[in-house]
């Protein structure tokens, strides 16, 4: 089941496909937002809510593969599931090598689509949890006094408790 906290961003230039997927995913309880182009997504999307992107490959102005590259360059780590009616094996291999969770062929079976989106959302949830854990650890270290930091560093470097305390 796709987490109710996840936001599914669908980017496709086919309005009928956008509405069909939105209807399907909304009926499964998903939070869905649609964009009819990569440009619209870049202008309007809030990258902070966890989730994933369901992305078409062939679109005017900017292809899905070009958007994937741009997102990578800008450190937007939202997982991507590609879905295309015009994909090739080379295209699919390239997309997955660059980090896509999956590359599906239109028309796609509902179960396969949902499974891929679940995996993508789970991947993003793990990323967000790791960031939160890292932030909590940093806050703990930042709360130490200078002397506590010196002792902790000495212990980490292999000094005995006694030597670290001197």
Residue identified by tokens 């560093």 is 153
Which of 15-24, 48-57, 148-157 comes out lowest in average pLDDT?
148-157
Confidence of residue 148 (pLDDT cuts 50, 70, 90): confident
95 has a pLDDT exceeding 90? yes
Quick check: 67 and 11 in contact, CB under 8 A? yes
Give the H/E segment covering residue 66. helix 64-73
Q: What is the pLDDT of residue 97?
A: 95
The CATH code belonging to domain 7-125 is 3.40.50.2300
pLDDT tens digit sequence for 96-112: 999 999 999 999 999 99
Cα–Cα distance for residue pair 43/104, rounded to 1 Å: 26
90 has a pLDDT exceeding 90? yes
Q: What is the pLDDT of residue 86?
A: 85
Mean pLDDT calculated for residue range 57-72: 95
Residue identified by tokens 């202008």 is 43
Quick check: 92 and 69 in contact, CB under 8 A? no
Structure tokens belonging to residue 27: 């009926």
Extents of the domains making up the chain = 7-125
35 has a pLDDT exceeding 90? yes
pTM: 0.81
Sheet holding 80-84, edge to edge: 31-35, 7-11, 51-55, 80-84, 102-105
């Amino acid at each position: 089941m796709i987490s109710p906290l996840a936001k599914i961003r669908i980017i496709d230039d086919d309005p009928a496909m956008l509405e069909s997927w939105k209807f399907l995913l909304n009926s499964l309880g998903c939070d869905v937002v649609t964009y009819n182009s990569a440009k619209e997504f870049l202008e309007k999307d809030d990258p902070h809510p966890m989730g994933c992107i369901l992305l078409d490959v062939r679109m005017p102005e900017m292809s899905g593969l070009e958007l994937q590259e741009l997102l990578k360059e800008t450190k937007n780590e939202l997982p991507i599931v590609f879905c295309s009616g015009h994909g090739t094996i080379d295209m699919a291999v390239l997309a997955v090598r660059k980090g896509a969770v999956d590359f599906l062929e239109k028309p796609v079976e509902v179960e396969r689509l949902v499974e891929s989106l679940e995996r993508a959302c789970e991947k993003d949830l793990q990323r967000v949890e790791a960031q939160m854990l890292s932030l909590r650890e940093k806050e703990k270290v930042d709360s130490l006094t200078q002397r506590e930091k010196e002792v902790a560093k000495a212990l980490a470097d292999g000094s005995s408790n006694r030597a670290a305390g001197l």
